Amino acid sequence: MGALAGKMAFTYYEHRLEALYLICGGMLIGVITLELIPESIRTYSFWALMAGASLAVFLCVWTDQVIHVKYSDKSYLPVIAFVLAMIFHNVPVGVALGMTLKDGIGESLLLALFIHHLPEGVALYILMKMNRIHRFVLIITASVITIVLIVAAWFGAISDQSNLINGIFMGIAIGSLSYVAIHEMIGQVVGKVSKRELYLYTCLGILLLSFYLKVAHKFF
């Protein structure tokens, strides 16, 4: 459903690709600041989150300096970074889902995950479409991300949850998504649009995500 919404946005707004980049970057920032960080701080150790986030940023910067420079003509690198961030995010979330199934609250968490992944589906579709990646790859990518979540949930259902390891993985997800949003999305547009448009569309993405979360939480 998120990819379908992304397809509609791309179809009717393709003439302003820079604006789409900024809106998606703003949506990711909204997910990180309004959902991921507050929930992670309440659930995991602060130092585990910091360790994971620092490791993620270091790896992203190293990749950008070494691999990205060597393969600068490869437009799919931002997509790979985004997909890896989503996979790292799904590991601790999937384990938590598997653990909550034992307590009978897994359905509520599953619904929250459904709501949470919609804006990420929008960003994934638009990012792939902008980089001219075939739609079949999008389907395969979404399937892989889903399989990771399912396997992590199964692992969480049969084993004890490690708060430290899950905190590190969640930190990696936060760091990776932050790097993708700020550097690979918003950073790619800096200098191509005016500062007013830069702030306007980024804030629009954050506001859209905030409004979406308020409506979703009200009904679910």
Q: Is the pLDDT of residue 72 over 90?
A: no
Q: Who contacts 76 (Cβ-Cβ below 8 Å, separation ≥6)?
A: 131, 133
Greater confidence, 106 or 24? 24
- The residue among 202, 155, 188, 154 whose CA lies nearest residue 77 is 188
- Res 134: pLDDT: 79
Q: Is the pLDDT of residue 69 over 90?
A: no
Greater confidence, 190 or 203? 203
pLDDT digits (tens, 9 = 90+) for 102-133: 555 455 556 556 766 777 777 788 778 777 77
* Highest mean pLDDT pick, 2-11, 75-84, 197-206: 197-206
Confidence of residue 75 (pLDDT cuts 50, 70, 90): low
Q: Is the pLDDT of residue 8 over 70?
A: yes
Q: Who contacts 83 (Cβ-Cβ below 8 Å, separation ≥6)?
A: 124, 141, 144, 145
Q: Is the pLDDT of residue 82 over 60?
A: yes
- Res 105: pLDDT: 47
- Res 50: pLDDT: 94
* Highest mean pLDDT pick, 78-82, 169-173, 207-211: 207-211
For residues 115 and 215, the answer to whether their CB atoms sit within 8 Å is: no
Query: What tokens does 148 get?
Result: 């990771």
For residues 48 and 171, the answer to whether their CB atoms sit within 8 Å is: yes
